[in-house]
Amino acid sequence: MRVVFSPALDDEDVVAAAFAVSRRVGSAVERNRIRRRLRAILRELADAIPAGLYLIKCDIGTKDLTYEELRTHLRAGIGRLGAS
């Protein structure tokens, strides 16, 4: 999983995200499940991460991750940015 970050402009205190989940990851049902889980995880982390825009790119093995593993991978991706 890769994360791209763009800081918030001015005093905006918003965490917004877009998801790039290619068809190679799985079926539409699997890709939508990944997006729903990532949205839920971002809501949990919203107070602990900097405001801004996030682009989350998912790799092929993402569909096999549990919720906890997905959270760990997302935190690691954000951590690699030096954002948290």
The span from the CA of 19 to the CA of 28, in Å, is 14
> How sure is the predictor about 34, in pLDDT bands with cuts at 50, 70 and 90?
very high
CB 49 within 8 A of CB 84: yes
pLDDT at 41 over 60: yes
Q: Which three-class secondary structure state does DSSP give residue 26?
A: coil
Are the C-beta atoms of residues 54 and 1 closer than 8 Å to each other? no
Res 73 pLDDT > 50: yes
Q: For residue 70, what are its two tokens?
A: 């997905």
pLDDT band at 13 (very low <50, low <70, confident <90, very high): confident
Number of domains comprising the chain = 1
Taking residues 9-16, report their average pLDDT: 81
Which CATH number belongs to the domain containing residue 68 in this structure?
Answer: 3.30.230.10
Residue numbers of the domain that contains 18? 2-80
Instruction: Give the Cβ contact number of residue 83 at 10 Å.
Output: 14
Residue showing tokens 């993402």? 62
